[in-house]
Structure 1
Amino acid sequence: MKIIAERFAGRRAVVTGASAGIGRATALRLAAEGARVGLIARRREPLDEVAREIQAKGGEALVLVADGSVESEIAAAMDRAAKEWGGLDIIVSNAGIELLGQDDRVDRLDRAIWDKLITTNLTGQFLACKHGARHLLAAGGGAIVCLGSNCAYLGMATNEPAYSASKGGVLAMMKVMAIDYARLGIRVNMVIPGFIDTPMNAPVMKDTKELAYWSNQIPLGRPGTADECAAAILWLASDEASYCIGTTLVIDGGQASI
């Protein structure tokens, strides 16, 4: 992982879903490059581990336990971070779930599974953006980076219509937000990961045949890493991406190009 020293010095960032996978990698890298980082997830223990890792390297982290789909909790978490640091500059809206084996073909899909995925993945990102944007506006601007999936526009996730719909909704929301906030000083963009080696994909990573099947669908022939996604997120959040509005940066090893 290439670190650009102090690229985010003085910046105040909040990352949702910061306890594992892409969110964890993003939080660690933001801190390594000078940002103060608020860590949001539902469970304290893994957040404490991330915070300790940041602090051991001289960084500053704030643990913010919250369920991203509960508005009062996400609002309180954003408010606490803004109060602690006098405002916010960067929001990484990353938290999400995938319910393999429960999400299913539409005629077999249980309504409760549909609701859980839409509430967590789409409504949760809406709430993070809503309450993050309040503080970015108060600070005079900033950057929001949403996390999507190539399932948003490719029918590759067979038997996962709810997950795909939730990510498609985030993509559409991001595009409108990008326009709404462009002249208010907030840049809104999205990173779209493909098949990434994260805890969410652990069942596939442990299955030799499944791993080989999905790797063969990727021109690079392998899954991506959380650090590769984090690098893209940080670029969109940085001043280097100052002319990017409504951009979708696809990190999928070329899968969408097939």
Structure 2
Amino acid sequence: MRTWVLLRGLMREARHWGDFPVQFQQAMAAEQLHCIDFPGNGQLNQQNSLTTVAAMADFCHQQLVQHAVQEPVYVLAVSLGAMVALAWAERYPADMQGIVLVNTSVAPHNPFYQRLRPGNYPALIATMLFGSAFAREKLILRITSNLHTEEQAKTIVEQWKNYAQQRPISRANILRQLGAALRFHAPMQTGKLPLLLLAGEKDRLVNVTCSRTLAKKWDCPLHIHPEAGHDLPLDDAAWIIAQVRTWQNQMRNNPALLM
């Protein structure tokens, strides 16, 4: 059996994957796929968000136990979710077979001005904490996605606004999640766990240099989409699926890569 877990980022929930999970599960022939919502988000929006990435990793481990997943899983994670995946692998290495990290950035390897481009600070602070659901989701789409027409963007923002109204995330939980991300320090090395990095060259939220630095430090493969932004699964799901399939085929044909 092959099981995949998908982890989203700050203030996101399972529905923000759109139809990516269905496409991904079919393409990867995964027997099980779990999209985990962190406390404070999605179906768990009434709970307090966890204040450390380590606690989020513990939560993910507990989800495997609750779903009776007994084999090591593969994890595909975006942004904050990628930080959680790293902490999860460090704390529970037996849980995992491999990790795919999308547009991540972590201290101490990446400086703060690359992890969050300074030009975004004023709008993010004002809109995230004080803006309407519509204004917040419109801003998020503008700085995280590149490859949509104006009409597609309107449809996406309206959908995301509905998610935010149906399962609102509190300002306190936004701050808890942001604080957890800012305090997290990634391990210097990632051990022997197979790791793939994916990034968008035109990410307007996180500098793609972060992924290049991590690939060099961790000696792992990195593939960069020439046009996509921070939300790579939204911008080009087919590209992500192709990169992950190639990576898994390479490991299957060369078992030494797993050592």
Higher relative contact order (CA 8 A, sep 6+): 2
- Normalised TM-score (structure 2): 0.43
- Normalised TM-score (structure 1): 0.43
